[in-house]
A and B are shown apart, each in its own frame.
Chain A
């Protein structure tokens, strides 16, 4: 198996960083010297980073409003329990 094929075969574990240290390091070294593999790996990492860094996605406004209503009722019941 060529290093490129090995990287493709182990890509999932490589991205999760669950390979044995020496295998991970060998694939890192290969990716840094092989242009297509480097593009594949860097753009995959970039894809993951873009989603990870995204500010939290809000609730749609209508869903938020209905949830707020429900939670207001929960809070009101809590206050009634405390005063009774």
Chain B
């Protein structure tokens, strides 16, 4: 039997079925956590956001429309909470000055060696490579890339969640894509013959 979709679970949740809510939330939780984690750079803060989002959504359930897109709602709340935390910190947002400087100096590609299609990593290794690269991207481009590329929100929704103009979100997104390409190149490029 096919598992119920998050949308179907949400309809039941709005009608008062808290077990359906628990199941829907459980499915969305990893994405929400990692989005907050990418913006805040900290597991503990991201967990607080995750729990706040769950409690706020439970409170709001009776007033939500059954057609409310739960994923969008959860990510929007998480982004809002994470932005408030960032403002409260008034500190660095995890930006790496060195990498930011590299990009400003030469925003476009430096490494134009083709990638080798034969290079492959097992799933855990690949996840680790991708994770390490993503951790080096400054916070705002990183979370925009995550929302757009991994969570598949469109650019307008992504910009809206982060209270950015679509133009600014697009600029951050391109920056993240270019930077990740540079960071991944050593793992995938064709090695020069010696």
Contact = CB atoms under 8 A, between A and B. Distances in A.
Interface of A: 8, 11-13, 15-16, 36, 39-40, 42-44, 46-48, 50-52, 54-60, 63, 66-67, 70-71, 74-75, 77-79, 81
Contact of A42 (B25, B114, B126, B155): B114
A44 to B, nearest CB: 5
A15 B177 contact: yes
Given A39-B114, A63-B50, A70-B54, 16 more contacts: A13-B170, A15-B174, A15-B177, A16-B173, A36-B112, A42-B115, A43-B109, A47-B184, A51-B130, A54-B126, A55-B127, A57-B131, A63-B33, A74-B19, A74-B58, A81-B18
B173 A63 contact: no
A47 B108 contact: no
A63 B114 contact: no
A16 B153 CA distance: 12
Interface of B: 17-19, 21-22, 25-26, 29-31, 33-34, 43, 46-47, 50-51, 54, 58, 108-109, 112-115, 123, 126-127, 130-131, 134, 145, 149-150, 152, 155, 170-171, 173-174, 177-178, 180-181, 184-185, 188
A59 B30 contact: yes
A50 B31 contact: no
Contacts of A36: 109, 112
Contact of A48 (B22, B29, B126, B177): B177
A34 to B, nearest CB: 11
Nearest to B175: A12
Most central of B18, B43, B173 by chain A CB within 10 Å: B18
A75 B181 CA distance: 44
A57 B127 contact: yes
A8 B51 CA distance: 42
A46 B131 CA distance: 16
B29 A67 contact: yes
Contacts of A70: 51, 54
A67 B30 CA distance: 10
